[in-house]
Amino acid sequence: MIRLPPFRFFTPGTLTEATRLFAEHERAVVVSGGTDLYPNMKRLQVSPPSLISLRGVRELKTIQAGADGSIHLGAGMTLTQIERHALVRERVPSLVEAIPLVSTLPLRNMGTLGGNLCLDTRCHFINQTPFWRQAVGSCLKDVGDVCRVAPGGSRCWAIASADLPPLLIALGARIRLVSERGEREIPLSELYRDDGIHYLNKMQDEILTRVILPRNENVRAGYLKLRRRGAFDFPSLGVGAALQFNADGVCESARVVLGAVTSKPLEMPQAQGLVGEKLSAPLIAGVAEAIALQARPLQLADYTYAFRKQMVAVYTSKLLNRLAD
Ligand SMILES: Cc1cc2nc3c(=O)[nH]c(=O)nc-3n(C[C@H](O)[C@H](O)[C@H](O)COP(=O)(O)OP(=O)(O)OC[C@H]3O[C@@H](n4cnc5c(N)ncnc54)[C@H](O)[C@@H]3O)c2cc1C
C-alpha cells in the first residue's frame, strides 16, 4: 500500500477563513474531493506541507440562476450533485451528458467541479509510483532537469486531462477566483497555460469559487471522449463544441475545444468556417479535417500520436454532425 506523506490539515467553514489560512500558510494547497490530489501525493508528485480542505466551505456549494439568465455553479459541488440538479438538467443538458464520462460514480460522488477544472496535467512518466520512476530518474515535473518522454525538449509536455474544461469553454464559461486580496472574474479559457508544470494561470492562493455559464439560447453543445476503456479512463482525446443557430438554421457562432492534446484545452479557430453557413456533412468534414491538421497530440497519453491525430477529425466530425442534426 502506498501511504500519504505527512501534512497539516485545515478545515475552514467559510471562504473568508479559507483565504486567510491560505495567506498564513506558505505553499499550502487546497483540496476539494481529493480524488486527484491524494493519488498524486501518494505518488510523491506533489508534497504540500499543508492542505486546506474546501469540503466544509458552504459558499462553494450552491447552484443558482442569475437574473440575466446565467447559471452559477459552486466550485465545491460534486459532479454527481451537478449532474442531478434540476436547473442544470433543464438548462445545460450537455453538461449532464458529459459528467458521467468523468471517472467512476464513487469518484464523481467525491470529486468536485473546482477540482476537475484545476486537475493536474498527466503523462506516462510522472503518473507512476516513485519506485517505478526511480528506475529511470526524475523528470521536469518532478525535481529533475530532463523530460523523460521528450528528452530533447526544455519544457514539460504533460497533458490537460480533465473532461469538463473543453465543453465549458465551448459554452463560454467564466470563473470567479478569490483570495485575501479580493476577487476577479475571467473566462475559463484564460485559466489555462500551455505548460505541463505551471498549467494554471492563477496565483497559488486563489480559490476557484464558481463557474458562470452565460444564457445560451439556441445553443446546441456536446462533448465526445476517446478513451482506452469504456468503463472509465482519462481522455486520450476530448472534443467539446457549442453551436448557435438562428431561426433559419444558419450557424451564428461555433466553438470547438480539444482536450488531452496539449498542456491546455485548445480552442480551434478553424471552427469559424461553420459560421454563416447551413451545416452540411461535407462542410463539417472539411472543418474537422482543418482542425485535425492543426491539432498536434503529444505522445504522452494512450494510443499513438498518429492515431489520436486521426481521431481528432473523426470525433470532431461525429460531434458536429450530431449537433447539426
Ligand atoms: C481512477 C481515476 C480516474 C479518473 N478519471 C477521470 C476522468 O476520466 N476524467 C476526469 O476529468 N477526471 C478523472 N479523474 C480525476 C477526478 O476524479 C476528477 O477530475 C474530479 O472532478 C477532481 O475533483 P476533486 O474535487 O477530487 O479534486 P482534488 O483532488 O480535490 O483537486 C484537484 C486539483 O485541483 C485543485 N483544486 C481543487 N478545488 C479547487 C478550487 N476550488 N480552487 C482552486 N484549486 C482547486 C487542488 O489543489 C488540486 O490541485 C480520475 C481520478 C481517478 C482517481
Picking from 44-48, 130-134, 165-169, 205-209, which range would have the lowest pLDDT averaged per residue?
A: 130-134
Across the beta sheet with 63-65, what order do the strands follow?
Answer: 63-65, 71-74, 207-213, 174-179, 182-187
What CA–CA distance (Å, rounded) separates 78 from 22?
A: 22
| 53 CA distance to ligand 1 middle (Å) | 13
What local confidence, expressed as pLDDT, does residue 140 receive? 87
Q: Whole-angstrom Cα distance, residue 193 to residue 263?
A: 7
pLDDT of 152 reads: 77
Q: Which amino acid is at 271?
A: A
Q: Over the stretch 110-158, which tens digit does the pLDDT of each residue have?
A: 999 999 999 999 998 888 888 888 888 888 888 788 888 777 778 889 9
The pLDDT value given to residue 116: 98
Domain boundaries in the chain?
218-325
The x, y and z cell numbers of residue 83, run together, are 449532474
132 against 91, higher pLDDT: 91
Report whether 292 contacts 309 (CB < 8 A). Answer: yes
CA distance 259 to 217: 25
- The predicted pLDDT at position 133 comes to 86
For residues 6-32, average pLDDT? 96
Task: Tell me which residue has its CA closest to atom 3 in ligand 1.
Answer: 103
Compute, in angstroms, the gap from residue 38 CA to the centroid of ligand 1: 9
CA 175, chain centre distance (Å)? 13
Instruction: Please tell me if the CB atom of residue 222 comes closer than 6 angstroms to any atom of ligand 1.
Output: no
Kindly report, residue by residue over 212-233, the tens digit of the pLDDT: 999 988 899 999 999 988 888 9
Confidence check: pLDDT of 208 > 80:
yes
Which of the four pLDDT bands, split at 50, 70 and 90, describes residue 247?
Answer: very high
**For 66-86, what is the mean pLDDT?**
97
For the entire predicted model, the pTM comes to 0.97
Q: What is the pLDDT of residues 195-204, one digit of tens each?
A: 999 999 999 9
Task: Tell how far the Cα of 107 is from the centroid of ligand 1, in angstroms.
Answer: 9
Q: CATH second-level architecture of 218-325?
A: 2-Layer Sandwich (3.30)
244 beta partners: 219, 253
Cell output for 200: 494554471
- What is the mean pLDDT of the segment spanning 20-49? 95
Identify the residue whose C-alpha is closest to ligand 1 atom 50: 103
The residue-averaged pLDDT of 176-191 equals 97
